[in-house]
Amino acid sequence: MGDRNGPEHAGLAVKEAGAKPLQELASSGSGLPYDLYTDVYDSSAILSGSENLMLTYSSYEELAQVRYTFPEQALDKKLTEIKEFVSFKYGHFKNTTGSAHDNYFAYRWILEDGIVLEAYRDRKSGEAGLLYMRKDRINYLKAEIEEAKRDKYREQSDAF
């Protein structure tokens, strides 16, 4: 299962780094051939202060998203820490999402290879986090899921 960059390789690397699996192969529940899965790990052993690491990928083993979460009482302070950590490696952020007064606020970096990094805080969920996304893959996978849903509805409507 998986290639060098697929979820199996990523999951193995995460386990080897010391993360403990909490939940693996959790489906989004669509029951379609194109489904998204999320593996959740306790990441406290590999990234100080973090709680969970989530790997999201398709049934075709395309890794689309990685998310670290940092549950904190002081979300704005934790967001600033994450922003500074990412800025040290990737420079100044490209843009922001939301405003400082919104429930969801994020700093966003767009890397040369199209990867998007987002340091965020979400007051509704009570977490701060760091999100690594392959926007091209996420959009592609969502389009494939929607097409599979349409195909399934067409097949069912032909039965009438």
For residues 77 and 115, give the distance between their C-alpha atoms in angstroms, rounded to a whole number.
25
Range 84-99 average pLDDT = 92
Kindly indicate the confidence band of residue 2, based on its pLDDT and cuts at 50, 70 and 90.
very low
User: How far, CA to CA in Å, does 65 sit from each of 73, 156, 159, 160?
Assistant: 25, 32, 37, 39
- The pLDDT-based confidence of 68 (bands split at 50, 70, 90) is very high
- Would you say 43 and 62 are in contact if contact means Cβ atoms under 8 Å apart? no
Question: What's the pLDDT at 32?
Answer: 53
Per the document, the length of the chain is: 160
Q: What is the pLDDT of residue 38?
A: 83
Q: Is the pTM of this model over 0.75?
A: no
